[in-house]
Amino acid sequence: MSSTPLALFVGLPNPTLSDDEFALFRETNPLGLFVGRRNLRNPEQAKILIDRFREAVGRADAPVFTDQEGGRVQHMDAGPWPLFRSFGQFAELARRDLDLGKKALRLSTQAMGAMMSELGLSSGCSPVLDLVFETTSAVIGARSFGPDPDFIAALGREVVDGLLETGNMPVMKHIPGHGRATLDSHKERPVVDASRETLTATDFKPFVALKDTPWAMVAHVVYAAYDAERPASISPIMHDVIRNDMGYDGVLISDCIFMESLQGILPERVAQVLEAGFDIALHSHGDVKESEAAAKAARPLTDAAQNRIAAAKARLGTLKIDYRAAQAEVEAMFASALVS
């Protein structure tokens, strides 16, 4: 096993790590593991899975991520864990009472972060900073705070800071913005035709405002004003836009390469992400053979990526809270404001 991890997250089809998967991960040393609801049944099982992955790669701090935004996208939605509200609901509360909305969102974020950190999960890949319009693909919907970039940035700040406080890594997505995409990048290749001036004044704006967020996930969306052929996640041009024009210097991970906005077989997709200059390719599920093929296509993390990852980790706090009590308090805030 190389001492430098591969620039790759892998996934699993089951709630346990098989002997073959353990051996593969020990041999190839992928940077991290991405888990979904198929892998998360209860706290005891989840902790065993996370610990076993870290044992396989030989790193007690190996990142283990999931999708845990609240609302429709929360993979910790089995019986043992509380359910959390969507960003759209917090936005509705904040439009009625901005201070109360921010307070409720911060507390809900801390509750969710504490819940994940208690399990050993490193991140829930949040917040979503995409704008939403009448034409936006339904894949975003209530995952967004709305159409106003300044409002999104203000609420997104509560999520970023709340997660950091509880030792859970914020990952803003989907940089540089999925909101003008009318197609679902899980199924098709969206093309955004807006001008550079429009994108800079709107879609890009929340990401620039929160460019101190330690990690960001890159959209599989074509921005024709910059690169008419390739989605941002595999475009060297968009890599330079994010790094230089938008000024983002944190860790850049692709959205899941299984999404059909990308083309070619999975190893080719891994290579496309990394050859474009991004730090990490996300292979969020798949069986042993698919993970092995992805690992063969990946390269070790660059020195720059390792430095970014270390700098991000150094910002994590240690706040401990009773996440169930905190979530009950959030619900009381909504009740007091008569927001359903």
Would you please indicate which residues are annotated as catalytic (active-site) residues? 186, 255
Q: Angle at which helices 98-119 and 43-57 pack, to 10 degrees?
A: 60
DSSP sequence for 30-80:
EEEEE--GGG-SSHHHHHHHHHHHHHHHT-TT--EE--EEETTEES--STT
CA neighbor of 113 nearest in space, from 148, 163, 66? 163
Distances (CA, A) of 102 to 9, 39, 114, 286: 32, 32, 18, 38
Q: Which residue has the tokens 């790759």?
A: 8
Strands 68-70 and 64-65: unpaired
Beta bridge partners of 64: 33
Look at strands 68-70 and 73-74 and give their pairing.
Answer: antiparallel
According to DSSP, the residues that pair with 51 across neighbouring strands are none
Q: Is 167 within 8 Å of 317 (Cβ atoms)?
A: yes
Q: For residue 45, what are its two tokens? A: 């099982």
Contact 70, 55 (CB under 8 A): no
SS3 at position 215: strand
How far is Cα 48 from Cα 312, in angstroms, rounded to an integer? 25
At residue 6, the 3 state secondary structure works out as strand
* Tokens representing residue 108 in the block: 């809900």
CA angle 270, 124, 17 (to 5 degrees): 65
- Residue 298 · residue 92 · CB < 8 Å: no
